[in-house]
Chains A and B, each alone.
Chain A
Amino acid sequence: MIEFEGVGFSYGRTMVLRDMTFTLAPGMLHILIGPSGAGKTTLLRLCHGDLEPTEGQVRFFGRPIARRNRDAIAMLRRSVGIVPRDCRFLEHLPLIENIALPLRVCGIASGNRSEDLHALLEWVDLADRVDALPDELSGSERQRAALARAVILSPEVVLADEPTGGLDRERAQRLLALLIDLSRMGKTVLIATHDEELVRTARTKAATRTLTLEAGRIETAGAAS
């Protein structure tokens, strides 16, 4: 899947991540915790090929990918879905087109996958919001839409950056349930969060591996429960 080997990353002179060696285990729900500014988003961006380590190596499906190899990075992102913190939609397109965007990018006509698309919309409970524009959606709906878009190409790995940030408890639980569903379907899921309640709930509902990020290092890894 995704392997970190002695990875370090710095923004200029500021070292953010140091000597990180771990592997995202296939089909496992990983929770990346740590205080704000600990480098969780940076680590997720490394997992998505958005950043290149300044030290060590990140291997995707067994091989490293140079950031300058833009086509290879694009192909990687079809196998590693992401739910960014700000969701990032094309604001002028309705929800259905935003969710189907990865299909379009891959040259797959959404008409050929309409059943899958419908099932996906049902799964994230947005079937009645297909024509809404992104700015007409609530925070929870935006997160679920971003999740649907992240998984529409059936990626091996799904990354989520603070997916429950700004959501109330009920909606956060609902989103967590979807992410747990994904790991049960055999997807490798990595959730970056500082929401302790989310971590506790996840641990009670699914086999979870917790990665604790502190002072730029992964302090705890591989503790499955």
Chain B
Amino acid sequence: MKVSRWFRTDPNAAGLVPTDTHVALSVGFLSVVMAFFAVLALALALGAGRLADSWQGELADAATLQVFGPADAIEEQARAALDVLRTTPGVRSVRMVDLAEQERLLEPWLGPDIPIESLPLPLLIEIETDRDRLNQASLILRLQAEAPGAVFGDHAAWRQPLLATAERLRVFAAACVALMALALAAVLGLAAHAAVAFNGAVVETLRLVGARDRFIGATFTRPLMVNAMASSLAGTAAAMALLALLPKASEQGFFLVGIGLVGWHWLLPPLVPLAAGLLAWVATGLATRQSLRRWS
């Protein structure tokens, strides 16, 4: 049996039930709102996933060495630290962060035109590591011996809680999507129950002339499904427009690394109206089938 058969509704069933404008508007409004929030929650889940991946992946391989010391000794300390780093297995590359770059990094917090020369800033060395090969404890011991003013930082102190938060945010967003789907299904099921109950005379007449439950069910399922799909499409479009207006991840100062959508993730929100249609089809189908048993 073809799968498409399950999703087909009888076109002859269209228009046999008078349209209840109040129910149609309520279902439509709820579908718009649910789809809107579902897309935002989806974007949040995807964004949180990207953040977690980033913190777990490329940022996990990044470390920073801060070199402190009096002005006349700091460069010597830095050279000693660089020598240690370059001879340590598991260190892929090292790079000095120059003053101009430090100024750019501090600008969002301290503002432009800061007299950076007058600040007691450490020298920064950016390190790219291979986590599997690097013996961090040994590196720290060597640095303490060769360059006592150098402080190794692998961002673990702030990366782990952020990672945990991102993971929880992802679960929370996914739960929101699931809850909205359940709420929409419940609303559509109730609407279908109410529509069948309200149109008992129509059901009786259709049964009288030999209509099967499948046909009668389609008279109720079809309009609700079309309504839910069309309204969800509107809600999805509104949410996508809002996400498109969010600052891009590359924009300066947008430190959340973009909770919007990027790349192929833009293909996912259009699935929301389809999912809403499928949900409507299942929820209203089950509800009408159950309700129809009242009539012989």
Q: Which residues of A contact B (CB under 8 A)?
A: 49-51, 67, 70-71, 73-78, 82, 84, 88-93, 101-102, 104-107, 149, 153
Contacts and interface: CB of A to CB of B under 8 A. Distances in A.
B201 to A, nearest CB: 7
Contacts of A92: 18
26 contacts: A49-B296, A70-B213, A71-B212, A74-B210, A74-B211, A75-B210, A76-B210, A77-B209, A77-B210, A78-B210, A82-B208, A84-B208, A88-B208, A90-B205, A91-B201, A101-B205, A101-B209, A102-B209, A102-B210, A105-B12, A105-B209, A105-B210, A105-B215, A107-B10, A107-B12, A153-B210
Contact of A77 (B201, B202, B208): B208
Contacts of B206: 101, 105
B142 interface: no
B296 A51 contact: yes
Contacts of B126: none
Contacts of B53: none
Interface of B: 10, 12, 16, 18, 201-202, 204-213, 215, 293, 296
Nearest to A50: B296
Kindly name the residue among A50, A93, A104, A153 whose own CB sees the greatest number of chain B CB atoms within 10 A: A104
A89 B209 CA distance: 10
Contacts of A93: 16
Nearest to A45: B296
B74 to A, nearest CB: 88
B12 to A, nearest CB: 5
Contact of A67 (B18, B202, B215, B296): B296
Nearest to B13: A104
A28 to B, nearest CB: 23
Pairs of residues from A and B, 4 with the lowest C-beta to C-beta distance, nearest first: A77-B210, A78-B210, A105-B211, A102-B209
Nearest to B11: A107
Contacts, number: 53
Kindly name the residue among A88, A93, A107 whose own CB sees the greatest number of chain B CB atoms within 10 A: A88
Contacts of B215: 105
Kindly name the residue among A67, A70, A91 whose own CB sees the greatest number of chain B CB atoms within 10 A: A70
A90 B200 CA distance: 11
B207 A104 contact: no
Contacts of B12: 104-105, 107
A215 B212 CA distance: 35
Contacts of A104: 12, 16
Contacts of A74: 207, 210-213
A88 B212 contact: no
A23 B213 CA distance: 30
B213 to A, nearest CB: 6
A149 B296 contact: no
A134 to B, nearest CB: 10
Nearest to A92: B18
Contacts of B210: 74-78, 102, 105-106, 153
A74 B206 CA distance: 9
A106 B13 CA distance: 10
A153 B208 CA distance: 13
Contacts of A90: 16, 202, 205
A67 B213 CA distance: 13
A7 B96 CA distance: 100
Nearest to A101: B209
Given A76-B210, A101-B206, 18 more contacts: A70-B212, A71-B212, A74-B212, A75-B210, A77-B209, A77-B210, A82-B208, A84-B208, A88-B201, A88-B204, A88-B205, A90-B202, A90-B205, A93-B16, A101-B205, A104-B16, A105-B210, A149-B209
